[in-house]
Amino acid sequence: MTNSQFPFDISLTDVYKTYPLGLWKKKEAVCGVSFAVPRGEVVGLLGPNGSGKSTILKMTLGFIRPTAGEILVCGHAPSERQSRSFVGYLPENPRFQKFLTAREVLRYYGALCRLERSALSKRVDELLELVALTDAGNERIAGFSKGMVQRLAMAQALLARPRILLFDEPMSGLDPLGRMELRQLIARIHDEMPEATIFFSSHVLSDVEQLCASVVLLSKGKLKSFSRIDELLGARTEAYELTVRGVPEGHQADWGKRLRHSPLGETWTVDGTEDLLEALNDLKGLGAQVVGVFSQRTSLEQKLFGRVSNPDPDQPETEVTR
């Protein structure tokens, strides 16, 4: 099958993975998971520890074989060498040979991707610039910080301009600044390579919320949902919290209700955009000072917690809304 005939870059069909635990016991790490990642999308793979996220990524790369089911990467089985020519991979804890310089690492991995020598030198320079390591290009990795190693690993994943980027917990172990830099880098990669599919697992839900168009949610090896992130979170304008100062005591408003008093001021809740505008006009008339307006959008964390714990037995276990 040619790649143009295949609409999905990654597809899993009824995939199972069972690990032996000793002689008799077995553990089902992945249990009948099916989904397909469309070309050019940024898709997050979410779930608690032990939900099978890393197992799915490793099966997609051919590191481990599924016990049952089928995985296709651009129409090829992961065990085929050709499938990996479409993929750039960033592992959770990237390790390089510490005696090599950043430039040597990229040349080595570029050679493994069968890039031509002249094209490789140019590509290495481009990537070092992209990941802001040009100045450290000739330094040994032994002296690199975790953030620098992570950025270098990102560069090696991009070497062959892959169609699919697989990131396993890319923000893991990074400080807030490092996380922000990497998040910006992923966003930049997506802007520069809009046709590339980015499929990554993460525990950092805010990163997923900011970067992903869709989310695959796993729990105990099973697919809980695969939906677009805006559908998962609901409309952005459900309700607002207004923090204001100087509202006369006992003031009754038909646009909302008083919630609590805080050192910043009084907090009111308002339903919908129209009520918000009315409230702002009313408050202006009263001479009150608006300290802040916050969207009361349900966080991804709250939504996911609800789905993973699945308290409603009548609720279907798997929900695919894509």
Partner 1 sequence: MIALRVAWITMRELISERVFYLLLTFAVLALGFSLLLGQLTYAEQAKITLDFLLAAVEISMVLFSIFMGIGLFKRELLLGSVAMVLSKPISRSSFLVGKYLGQVAIQFAVMFCMLLVTLAIQSNFEGNSSALSVIQAVGLIFLEVLVLTAMAYFFAVNAGTITAAIVTLCLFAVGHMRESIVYHYNISISRSWIWPVIMSLIPDLEIFNMKTIASYGYTLDGTQLFWAVSYSFCCAVFFLFVACVCFANKDIAT
Which residues of this protein are in contact with partner 1, per CB under 8 A? 58, 61-65, 81-82, 84-85, 87-89, 91-100, 108-109, 111-114, 153, 156, 166
**Minimum distance from CB of 91 to partner 1 (Å)?**
5
CB closer to partner 1, 54 vs 243: 54
- Minimum Å distance from CB 115 to partner 1? 10
* Closer residue to partner 1 in complex, CB, 35/89: 89
50: left (phi over 0), alpha (psi -120 to 50) or beta: left
Nearest approach in angstroms of CB 84 to partner 1 is 5
Nearest to 127 by CA among 164, 152, 91: 152
Q: How many CB atoms lie within 10 A of CB 104?
A: 17
**Closest to 75 (Cα-Cα) out of 15, 14, 6, 13:** 6
Nearer to partner 1, 221 or 265 (CB): 221
Judge contact between 77 and 60, C-beta under 8 A: no
Q: Which is nearer to partner 1, 62 or 265 (CB)?
A: 62
Amino acid of residue 87? V
Is 151 or 307 the residue whose CB approaches partner 1 more closely?
Answer: 151
The encoded tokens of residue 18 equal: 């069972």
Characterise 247 by phi-psi region: left (phi > 0), alpha (psi -120 to 50), beta (else): beta
Closest CA to 33 of 15, 51, 50: 15
The least distance separating partner 1 from the CB of residue 294, rounded to whole angstroms, comes to 42
Contact 149, 93 (CB under 8 A): no
Angstrom distance (rounded) from CA 115 to CA 118: 9
* 117 versus 236: smaller Cβ distance to partner 1: 117
Of 147 and 272, CB closest to partner 1: 147
The dihedral built from the CA positions of residue 160, 162, 165 and 166, taken in this order, carries a sign that is negative
Q: 42 vs 59, which CB is nearer to partner 1?
A: 59
Instruction: Quote the tokens at residue 85.
Output: 């020519």
- Would you mind telling me the total number of residues written for the chain in this entry? 322
CA distance 296 to 274: 15
Q: How far is the CB of 114 from partner 1 (least distance, A)?
A: 7
Q: Could you tell me the smallest distance in angstroms from the CB atom of residue 108 to partner 1?
A: 6
Query: Minimal CA–CA distance to 172: which of 95, 94, 92?
Result: 92
> Rounded to the nearest whole angstrom, what is the least distance from the CB of residue 87 to partner 1 in the complex?
6
Beta bridge partners of 16: 68
Q: CB of residue 253 vs partner 1: minimum separation in angstroms?
A: 59
